[in-house]
Chain A
């Protein structure tokens, strides 16, 4: 199985800050990397696919980059509604695996 490791596990930032979350894969997954946002008591929400493509309706302050084994999710100009836990997921091959999550507090 491909192990996905996120860092940091949690972070605290202020409104308007730029936040970066890193996701590392245990092997080369090219650009087969997706990102999700989960708020407490809610289901995850699909944000980004293929490392850098925003899902329809996702605010442009979110961006993704990376390839191979290292990927980043960046939130520019943090908004109150961005307080959530963010997960990466590799789609290179089954079993599809997720990172352990990064909690963003504002």
Chain B
């Protein structure tokens, strides 16, 4: 059974940084397509970033240049480095597996909450 567990969320001031982690079991983060999706009451579900098994990375325009997705094979962990955080980045962030052939977010973690506020 695939399980994803996010951590690293919390309260941060605008302009600050955070690193989210997603510990995976039942799959290899290095051999699969993985991603991050966020959710707010106001904007709903929003795709944030993807990393393909080959290492290619993709970002939503709203986070491009500020967020970096990466993975650690030895720890079987996915990361999202978030810099220059804005109030509008406040959201629940979910780690997901990505079913490449259908473009679907297949397995989801429970999420970790980021609140950007002064």
Contacts and interface: CB of A to CB of B under 8 A. Distances in A.
Interface of A: 32, 34, 36, 42-46, 49-50, 53, 55, 87, 89, 91-92, 94-101
Contacts of B61: 95
User: Which applies to chain B's interface (DSSP): helix, strand, loop or mixed?
Assistant: strand
Contacts of B104: 34, 46, 49, 89, 91
A34 B99 CA distance: 11
Contacts of A32: 102-103
In the complex, the 6 A-B pairs of residues with the closest C-beta atoms, listed nearest first: A91-B103, A43-B108, A49-B102, A98-B45, A34-B104, A96-B47
A96 B103 contact: yes
A30 to B, nearest CB: 11
B44 A100 contact: yes
Nearest to A43: B108
A64 B80 CA distance: 33
A43 B110 CA distance: 6
Nearest to A97: B47
Given A50-B102, A96-B47, 14 more contacts: A34-B102, A43-B94, A44-B105, A46-B107, A49-B102, A89-B104, A91-B103, A91-B104, A95-B60, A95-B61, A97-B47, A98-B45, A99-B44, A101-B44
Contacts of B46: 98
Interface in B52-103: 58, 60-61, 94, 99, 102-103
A96 B109 CA distance: 19
A100 B107 CA distance: 20
A94 B111 contact: no
B33 to A, nearest CB: 12
Contacts of B109: 43
A87 B108 CA distance: 14
A42 B39 CA distance: 12
18 contacts: A32-B103, A34-B102, A36-B45, A42-B110, A44-B45, A44-B108, A46-B105, A50-B102, A55-B106, A87-B44, A91-B102, A92-B103, A95-B61, A96-B47, A96-B103, A98-B45, A98-B47, A99-B44
